[in-house]
Amino acid sequence: MKIATWNVNSIRVRLPRLVAWLQQHEPDVLCLQETKTVDEQFPFAELQAAGYHVEHWGQKTYNGVALLSKQPGSDITRGFAADGNPVATEQARCIAGTFGGVRVVSVYVPNGSEVGSDKYTYKLAWLAELATWLQGQQKSWPQLVLCGDMNVAPTDADVHDPQAWHEQVLCTTAERNAFATVTAGMTDLIRLHQPQAGLVTWWDYRGLSFFKNLGLRIDHIYGTSPLEAQCTAAVVDRAQRKGEQPSDHAPVIVELQA
C-alpha cells in the first residue's frame, strides 16, 4: 500500500502536474493540503477520470485538505468533529478516512506566521487539539498514519541552517514540544528510511532556495507501531520541485507491506 502526502499550494493551478504525478506514482492514498478552494471549483471530474475517489474539505482562498484514493474510504471525518471543539472546525485543515483497515489522517497545521502572534497562539492550540483527537483515533484504529504539512521542523537536523532558524517560527521549542505530543508513540516513517542530514520537503519560492537546497523538513508521515514494521520504503520526491509551476512543497511517499 502506497501512501503519499503533498501540499499542492492550489489544486487548480497544480492540477496538470498532479494528474501526471498520479499516473506516474499510482499511490493508493494521496493526502493533499492547501487546495485553496471550495467544492464548487474543485476538479472532482478530472481526478475521478484519473482513477481516484475524492474526499475534500475546502474553503475560499485558504487551507483546504483532501484524500484521493484508488478504493473508496470509510468513516470520513472533517475536522475534529468528535470533540466538537470550534478551534478545530473553523478552518479546513484536517480530513481523515479508513482505507484497507489503515486510518489515514491528512492535516494542514497552521503556519503560525510569527512567534507571539495570534496565528502562532492558534497554531499551538490547534496542535494540542490534534493530539487529544488523535489519541481517540488510535484507540479506534491501531493502524494509523498521520500525513501532511505539519509546519514544524522536528529537530535541527531538519533545518538547512539551524542557527538562522533558531527559535524562529516552524522551529521553536514550543512548536516542537507541541508536535512531539501529537506524534507521541508514533514513528517518523521518513526518517526510518532517510536518516541523512539535508533532507527537506519545502523550499521558499523566494530567492534561489531550491537550487541551493535551503529548505526545511516540515511535511511528514508518522505511523503507529504496527505500521512501523510494515514500512518498507519512504522517499521525498524532490523532482516535483523542478520544472514549470512547481508547488513550494515536494510530495512525500511511504510504502507499507501488510
C-alpha cell at 142: 491501531
The answer to whether 44 contacts DNA (rule: CB under 7 A) is no
The answer to whether 58 contacts DNA (rule: CB under 7 A) is no
Q: Of 110 and 251, which CB lies nearer to DNA in the complex structure?
A: 110
Phi, psi of 7 (to 5 degrees): -80, 105
Q: Of 166 and 212, which CB lies nearer to DNA in the complex structure?
A: 212
Q: Of 44 and 205, which CB lies nearer to DNA in the complex structure?
A: 205
Q: Give me the catalytic one of 28, 52, 108, 248.
A: 108
Nearest to 235 by CA among 29, 2, 72, 1: 2
C-alpha cell at 197: 542530514
C-alpha cell at 145: 498514519
- Nearest approach in angstroms of CB 17 to DNA is 9
Residue located via cell numbers 514550543: 174
What residues from 208 to 237 belong to the interface with DNA (CB under 7 A)?
208
The answer to whether 205 contacts DNA (rule: CB under 7 A) is yes
149 an active-site residue?
yes
The answer to whether 10 contacts DNA (rule: CB under 7 A) is yes
- Nearest approach in angstroms of CB 11 to DNA is 7
Q: Give me the catalytic one of 149, 158, 219, 248.
A: 149
Nearest to 101 by CA among 73, 69, 136: 73
Say if residues 190 and 147 touch (Cβ distance below 8 Å).
no
CB-side exposure of 58: number of CA atoms within 13 Å? 23
- Nearest approach in angstroms of CB 181 to DNA is 21
Q: Candidates 62, 124, 176, 192: give the one binding DNA (CB under 7 A).
A: 62
Say if residues 244 and 211 touch (Cβ distance below 8 Å).
no
- Nearest approach in angstroms of CB 118 to DNA is 10
Residue located via cell numbers 498520479: 22
What residues from 81 to 110 belong to the interface with DNA (CB under 7 A)?
110
Q: Let me know if 150 is exposed, middle or buried by CB neighbors in 10 A (0-12, 13-18, 19+).
A: buried
Size of the site for DNA (CB under 7 A): 19
Q: Of 197 and 208, which CB lies nearer to DNA in the complex structure?
A: 208
Sorted by sequence, the CB contacts under 8 Å of residue 157 that are 6+ apart come out as 197
Q: Of 92 and 231, which CB lies nearer to DNA in the complex structure?
A: 92
Cα-only R_g, the chain: 17
- Nearest approach in angstroms of CB 95 to DNA is 17
Query: Which residues form the catalytic set?
Result: 108, 149
Residues lying near DNA in the complex (CB under 7 A): 9-10, 12-14, 36-37, 60-62, 110-111, 113, 119, 205-208, 245
